[in-house]
Amino acid sequence: MSNNNQQSAADNPLLAEFLDQVKSEQVLWALQDKASKDWVVLSSINFEETDVMPVWSSEQRAKQHCIDEWQDYVPAQITVSDWLEFWIEDLNEDGIIIGVNWPVEGDCLELELGDFSQGIASIEDLA
């Protein structure tokens, strides 16, 4: 799975910016339904028959999307350690890729789960 927007993940400036922002707080953000606690996962705009989970580097960025069809969702934090310990396996089983700092408008960077998670592992604070 590759496209023109996807260089080596390590060389991608959008991913580098995301990781830099996540590193200090050790938290990333996704949208979770207030009632059901389900997470936002939607069809990829770049890959057919592939689902993508958008994640953001800040609560504020995530909150911008809590409108229209996502008005019943709220930003929810996922710690870096939880991502690495619990999320990778579940998302991998479902074949889900990751949308990095999903913009309100325009193209989104979508990465393979492994590439994204390698970046997350590289900033994990083990202290």
Mean pLDDT of 72-89: 97
24-45 tens-digit pLDDT: 999 999 999 999 999 999 999 8
pTM for this prediction: 0.89
Judge whether residue 10 has pLDDT over 50: yes
Q: Quick one: tokens of 21?
A: 């922002």
Residue 2 pLDDT grade (very low, low, confident, very high; cuts 50, 70, 90): very low
Residue 55 within any structural domain of the chain: yes
Q: Which of 17, 10, 1, 11 is nearest to 101 (CA)?
A: 17
Calpha distance 14→100 (Å, rounded): 8
Q: Which of 12, 10, 17, 31 is nearest to 121 (CA)?
A: 10
Mean pLDDT of 96-112: 92
Q: Taking a C-beta distance cutoff of 8 angstroms, is the pair 55, 28 a contact? A: yes
Residue 101 within any structural domain of the chain: yes
58-76 tens-digit pLDDT: 999 999 999 999 999 999 9
Q: Percent of the chain, pLDDT > 90?
A: 81
Residue 21 within any structural domain of the chain: no
Residue 93 within any structural domain of the chain: yes
| Domain span holding position 74 | 28-122
CATH number of the structural domain spanning residue 58: 3.40.1350.90
Residue 91 within any structural domain of the chain: yes
